[in-house]
């Protein structure tokens, strides 16, 4: 029930990191992404979700790790980004142990 709210907040954290890194997105792209992220029953899936579903290695460190490092360096509070990164790191650690 909270999925749409959480993904929009996570998207907001990533937008803040992008803007802080000098790569602010134009409002029309932010609005388009918001529509995609909030469409119930959308058939779209992130490639990282596809990796998780098939038990494959993810690009978690390359994507989430990089964004988290940038947020930290910029002093941007990004708790949802940190949580997502932690979850992917646990997943990757369990894959490595198996």
Q: Domains of the chain (ranges plus CATH)? A: 3-97 (1.10.1040.10)
Say whether pTM exceeds 0.75: yes
- Closest to 79 (Cα-Cα) out of 87, 23, 19, 49: 87
Query: Average pLDDT for residues 70-98, to the nearest whole number?
Result: 96
Contact yes or no for 13/80 (Cβ under 8 A): yes
Query: Tens digit of pLDDT for each residue in 24-82?
Result: 999 999 999 999 888 888 888 899 999 999 999 999 999 999 999 999 999 999 999 99
């Amino acid at each position: 029930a909270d999925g749409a709210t959480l993904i929009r907040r996570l998207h907001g954290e990533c937008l803040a990191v992008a803007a802080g890194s000098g790569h602010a997105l134009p409002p029309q792209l932010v609005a388009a992404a918001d529509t995609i992220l909030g469409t119930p029953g959308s058939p779209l899936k992130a490639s990282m979700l596809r990796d998780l579903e098939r038990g494959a290695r993810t690009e978690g460190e390359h994507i989430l790790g990089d964004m988290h490092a940038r947020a930290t360096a910029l002093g941007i509070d990004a708790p949802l980004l940190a949580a997502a990164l932690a979850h992917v790191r646990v997943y990757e650690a369990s894959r490595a142990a198996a």
